[in-house]
């Protein structure tokens, strides 16, 4: 039943040979990797205005300049990542570049920062997408957390179906949103030029004095628009050959569309004197002022909500790929390195979705509560990758290496300034969580690697002497005499002549009857009756097994557990799980081998 449900939701397994067929061309790749970057247009300009509004009407005048500076930053970051894509075509982005050029700790810091960023992208994009829905339909606002979690789980299922199928599903909504934003910007400028500027609003009250720190906070909030730029560099191997060329072109498209959209939306919001409100998004206010509550407005809101929810997809593609690379290096559990049935890293997809759902529940689906945690990770990774590339070019010294090094150095300095600004301006608003979390994650990575190194050392065959098995004792657990027990006894006789049967005395009458039957069926095998004053099966059995430690002839003792297996899944619920509990307990006792002997029932 579980297998049938999995096939229904996820699809049939795909052969490894189909992996190359699942790679993406540029058009569907843009739909997958640009959804995160493009979705930030819905909340990046809004975050700028939300901070500037605290400084009153005068502070709002700085919004266009901040938007332009973010567009310039996007060009610098995209150019730097274009170089990374061609220098490291195997993917991995900031983690690989920092590890290769700066060392293990910087590489792990970049990896931790990106993993945090991917999880937060899912949370922020979902919260912002649901905010677009509740702006159009306010009655849904009290149910926003449940809607957020449901959306994440649905898109998780879509990603589990495979990367190529995901691209087909999400291509139309991504381009739909791009067209809607273009329509919003063009309509805004056209109406402003033909009908003149709208009347100025009432003066906005000053909550905080206009200062450099306020402007820097607005800039750091708007920098959330750049999250997702690194996704292409992390997922180069998702592209059709030539991988680097196709990934580079897709990155350029993404950065160009992003810069134009952020600047356009911010300028139009400035021209129409939009003042952000907590209960309605800036895009919604703009659309309502330009189009009224017409079908165009609702179409724009729908496109915004869809792209914000689909932005989850970028992280659910990037997180598993990065986690698989780190797992192959031994810094994350090995389960994250393996492809699932549909040629995607299923474990990574599920982990990213589940953690994001927890954040949405904890922060009650609030975009503004999650944003302060957001930009530090991604800009920290930007900085480390660009610094690593400077060292890469200085070592390689290929054609025009100085020009490449200058580009990456400019990127490193710029993003270092940004991450410092974000850390300082957003620290008390929640950024301290990420500042503490990333070093803790690095320590966790090192612990995982240390475990695998220790395991490798203990499993090596160098100098190994095989253990002495000998005529080791076999203990047969008997709960009553039936076909399953007799079958298990036959198996025990086949592996050792040294057999002892044990039973726990929970009911004296049943125990006496068992002793009589045992003399008839197995007189040559001693049956030991264990007392249990507290009616426990586990403790007397484990105590007896531990007491036999000194009687072993060899390094092992075998405990045989007869089990009958019901024919229907629901029939398992009608029986206790003593054998399972004993197997689990014995797993952690050195030298004890637990063997289950199943007896399958017909109905």
Q: How much is the average pLDDT of 255-268? A: 91
Residues 484 and 436 in one domain: no
Predicted confidence at residue 40, as pLDDT, reads: 77
Verify that 351 and 496 share a domain, yes or no: no
Q: Alpha helix (H) ranges present in 24-162?
A: 26-39, 44-52, 56-60, 63-87, 93-101, 104-136, 144-160
Q: 453 or 237, which is more confident?
A: 453
Full domain range(s) for residue 512: 474-600
Burial tier of 187 (Cβ tally within 10 Å: 0-12, 13-18, 19+): middle
pLDDT in tens, 295-349: 898 898 888 878 877 777 778 878 888 899 899 999 999 989 887 766 678 899 9
Residue 461 placed within a domain: no
**404 and 355, same structural domain?**
yes
Mean pLDDT of 457-480: 79
For residue 343, the domain's CATH number is 1.20.1740.10
Of 396, 430, 446, which residue constitutes the final position of a domain?
446
The pLDDT assigned to 358 comes to: 92
Q: How many domains does the chain have?
A: 2
pLDDT for res 501: 94
- C-alpha distances in Å from residue 187, one per residue of 263, 297, 456: 15, 12, 64
How far is it, in rounded angstroms, from Cα 181 to Cα 315?
Answer: 22
pLDDT of residue 170: 67
The reported pLDDT for the residue numbered 371 is 65
pLDDT at residue 77, as a whole number? 83
- Judge if 516 and 583 occupy the same domain: yes
Does 572 lie in the same domain as 493? yes
* Predicted local confidence at residue 329, as pLDDT: 92
Mean pLDDT in residue range 450-454: 91
Enumerate the β-bridge partners of residue 10: none
pLDDT at res. 548: 79
- Which of 446, 461, 496 finishes a domain? 446
Residue 487 scores a pLDDT above 70:
yes
Handedness of CA 8, 9, 11, 13 (dihedral sign): negative
Whether residue 33 sits in one domain with residue 128: yes
Residue 453 lies in a domain: no
Average pLDDT, rounded, for the chain: 83
Model confidence at 23, in pLDDT bands (50, 70, 90)? confident
Is 457 contained in some domain?
Answer: no
Model pLDDT, residue 231: 74
pLDDT band at residue 189 under the 50/70/90 scheme = very high
Domain of 493: which CATH number?
Answer: 3.40.50
> Can you give the pTM of this predicted structure?
0.74
Residue 553: band (very low, low, confident or very high) from pLDDT cuts 50, 70, 90 = low
342 lies in some domain: yes
Q: Distances in Å between the alpha carbon of 561 and those of 298, 503, 523, 595, 599?
A: 64, 11, 20, 6, 11
In tens, the pLDDT along 222-250 reads 887 787 777 787 778 778 888 888 888 98
Q: Do residue 427 and residue 484 come from a single domain?
A: no
Are 492 and 402 members of one domain? no
End-to-end distance of the chain based on CA atoms, in angstroms? 17
Cα R_g (the chain), whole angstroms: 31
In a domain, 117, yes or no: yes
What does the block give as tokens for 185? 């910007």
Residue 208 has pLDDT above 90, yes or no: no
59, pLDDT greater than 60:
yes
Q: Using N-to-C axis directions, what is the helix angle for 163-195 and 295-328, rounded to 10°?
A: 140
* pLDDT at residue 2, rounded to an integer: 62
Single residue among 429, 446, 463 that ends a domain in this structure: 446
Q: Looking at residue 267, what is its pLDDT?
A: 93
Mean pLDDT over 211-220 rounds to 82
When pLDDT is cut at 50, 70 and 90, the band that residue 12 belongs to is low
Least confident of 58-67, 430-439, 467-476, 524-533: 467-476
Indicate the pLDDT class of residue 395, thresholds 50, 70 and 90. Answer: confident
Q: Same domain for 169 and 317?
A: yes
pLDDT band (50, 70, 90) for residue 175:
confident
Model confidence at 18: pLDDT above 60: no
Q: What is residue 187's predicted lDDT score, i.e. its pLDDT?
A: 93
Q: Is residue 24 a part of any domain in this protein?
A: yes
Domain annotation covers residue 6? yes
The token duo for 501 is 């049967």
pLDDT for 17 beyond 60? no
293 and 164 in a single domain? The answer is: yes
Choice among 267-276, 438-447, 529-538, 547-556 with the minimum mean pLDDT: 547-556
Residue 122's pLDDT is 86
Q: What percent of the chain has pLDDT over 70?
A: 89
Higher pLDDT, 464 or 218: 218
Look at residue 29 and tell me whether its pLDDT is greater than 60.
Answer: yes
Which pLDDT value is given to residue 96?
87
Please count the CA atoms within 13 angstroms of the CA of 501 that sit on its side-chain side. Answer: 25
Contact (CB, 8 A) for 227 and 311: no
- Whether residue 467 is contained in a domain is answered as no
pLDDT band at 551 (very low <50, low <70, confident <90, very high): low
Residues 419, 424, 428, 431: what is their CA dihedral angle, to the nearest 10 degrees? Answer: 10
**pLDDT score of 166:** 62
pLDDT value of position 185: 93
16 in the same domain as 157: yes
Residues 258 and 321 in one domain: yes
């Amino acid at each position: 039943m579980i297998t049938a449900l999995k096939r229904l939701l996820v699809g049939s397994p795909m052969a490894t040979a189909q992996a190359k067929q699942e790679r993406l061309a540029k058009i569907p790749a843009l739909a997958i990797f640009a959804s995160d970057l493009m979705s930030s247009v819905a909340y990046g300009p809004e975050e700028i205005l939300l901070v500037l509004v605290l400084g009153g009407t005068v502070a709002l005048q700085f919004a266009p300049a901040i938007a332009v500076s973010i567009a310039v930053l996007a060009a610098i970051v995209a150019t730097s990542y274009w170089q990374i894509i061609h220098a490291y075509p195997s993917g991995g982005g900031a983690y690989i570049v920092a590890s290769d050029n700066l060392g293990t700790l910087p590489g792990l810091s970049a990896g931790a920062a990106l993993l945090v960023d991917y999880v937060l992208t899912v949370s922020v994009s979902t919260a912002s997408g649901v905010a677009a829905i509740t702006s159009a339909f306010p009655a849904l606002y009290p149910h926003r957390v449940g809607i957020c979690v449901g959306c994440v789980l649905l898109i998780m299922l879509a990603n589990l179906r495979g990367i190529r199928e995901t691209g087909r599903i999400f291509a139309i909504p991504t381009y739909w949103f791009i067209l809607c934003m273009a329509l919003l910007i063009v309509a805004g400028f056209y109406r402003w030029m033909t009908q003149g500027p709208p009347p100025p609003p009432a003066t906005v009250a000053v909550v905080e004095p206009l200062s450099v720190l306020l402007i820097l906070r607005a800039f750091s909030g708007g920098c959330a628009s750049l999250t997702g730029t690194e996704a292409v560099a992390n997922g180069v191997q998702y592209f059709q050959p030539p991988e680097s060329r196709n990934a580079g072109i897709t990155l350029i498209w993404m950065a160009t569309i992003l810069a134009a959209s952020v600047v356009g939306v911010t300028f139009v919001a400035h021209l129409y004197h939009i003042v952000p409100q907590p209960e309605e998004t800036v895009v919604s206010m703009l659309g309502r002022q330009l189009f009224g509550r017409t079908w165009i407005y609702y179409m724009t809101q729908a496109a915004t909500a869809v792209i914000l929810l689909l932005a989850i997809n970028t992280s659910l593609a990037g997180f598993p790929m990065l986690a698989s690379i780190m797992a192959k290096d031994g810094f994350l559990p090995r389960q994250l390195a393996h492809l699932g049935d549909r040629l995607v890293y299923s474990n990574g997809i599920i982990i990213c979705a589940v953690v994001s759902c927890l954040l949405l529940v904890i922060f009650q689906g609030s975009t503004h509560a999650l944003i302060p945690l957001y930009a530090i990770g991604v800009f920290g990774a930007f900085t480390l990758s660009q610094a690593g590339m400077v060292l890469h070019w200085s070592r390689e010294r290929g054609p025009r290496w100085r020009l490449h090094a200058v580009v990456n150095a400019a990127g490193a300095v710029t993003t270092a300034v940004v991450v410092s600004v974000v850390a300082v301006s957003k620290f008390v608003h929640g950024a301290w969580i990420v500042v503490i979390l990333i070093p803790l994650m690095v320590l966790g990575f090192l612990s995982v690697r240390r475990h695998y190194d220790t395991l490798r050392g203990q499993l090596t065959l160098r100098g190994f002497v095989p253990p002495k098995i000998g005529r080791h004792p076999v203990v047969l657990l008997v709960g009553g005499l039936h076909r399953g027990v007799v079958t298990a006894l036959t198996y025990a006789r086949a592996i050792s002549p040294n057999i002892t049967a044990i039973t726990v005395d929970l009911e004296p009458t049943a125990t006496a009857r068992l002793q009589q039957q045992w003399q008839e069926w197995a007189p040559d095998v001693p049956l030991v009756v264990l007392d249990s004053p507290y009616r426990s099966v586990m403790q007397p059995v484990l105590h007896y097994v531990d007491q036999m430690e000194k009687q072993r002839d060899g390094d092992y003792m075998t405990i045989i557990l007869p089990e009958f297996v019901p024919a229907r899944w629901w029939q398992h619920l009608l029986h206790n799980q003593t054998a399972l509990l004993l197997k689990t307990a014995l797993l952690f006792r050195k030298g004890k081998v637990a063997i289950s002997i199943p007896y399958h029932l017909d109905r």
